[in-house]
Amino acid sequence: MSMLLHLVFGFMAAFIGVIPPGLLNITAARISLNYGRKSAGIFAIGVVLVVVIQTAIALLFAKYLDQHPEIVHLLRQIAVGIFLCLTIYFFFIAKDTRRKRQTEVNKSGVGRFFLGMFLAAINLLPLPYWVYVSITFNGFGLFDFSLQSIVMCVIGSALGTMAMLMVYIQFFKRMKSKNSLNRINMNVVIGSITGIIAVFTFVKILNDII
């Protein structure tokens, strides 16, 4: 598989992975609405920097796991429990994101940049996502774990993440009402996503057993 195709793979996987409304893209949209596209862009750069590191770690870990299928099976079992716990947390424990929050104190560009890095760092879903996607596509012969391929995929991941964040920034900037985002409880959305992942992972475990 050529380096260009690995770049495209990284771009598309990241682009699709950021499509569902979540903490990072909704925060980028809110910053765009309240403080402008420039501030949102600085926030997005901070996010992408961390995503690059997360993607590289996930792919290197996936390379190791690909050589140890028994560990992959064990991690799937652990993942079901983790995603179920996350689902319960976001549905029943986490506060409703539609509630009004205190006005942010730090509004500088540097503050936006580090906010992006911080939120991306606590968002650990990209790690299992990239492990799962890379191993799955490797099984079909559509991805390999050579160093050059991983580097191109990481670059594509950065570009894909930035592209989708910019889509959110541009789209929500054009919305007439700033209150539109407040109608969505993002914890319910994220909880639904983790719940779906838990179900799919559980089904995969059952298929392996059968």
Closest CA to 101 of 32, 165, 193, 27: 27
> What whole-number distance in Å separates Cα of residue 192 and Cα of residue 194?
6
Q: What is the pLDDT of residues 96-116, one digit of tens each?
A: 655 555 444 445 567 889 989
Alpha carbon separation from 130 to 11, 57, 78, 124, 198 (Å, rounded):
12, 9, 16, 11, 16
pLDDT in tens, 161-204: 999 999 988 877 665 445 555 566 656 766 777 677 678 767 76
**What pLDDT was estimated at residue 8?**
93
* pLDDT for res 44: 95
Percent of the chain with pLDDT over 90: 27
* Domain locations in the chain as residue ranges: 3-79+100-178
88 pLDDT exceeds 70? yes
Condensed to tens digits (0 to 9), the pLDDT of residues 36-84 reads: 889 999 999 999 999 999 999 999 998 888 787 777 677 667 767 777 8
**Average pLDDT in the chain:** 79
The predicted structure's pLDDT at residue 179: 54
What φ, ψ does residue 6 adopt, rounded to 5°? -70, -35
How much is the pTM?
0.71
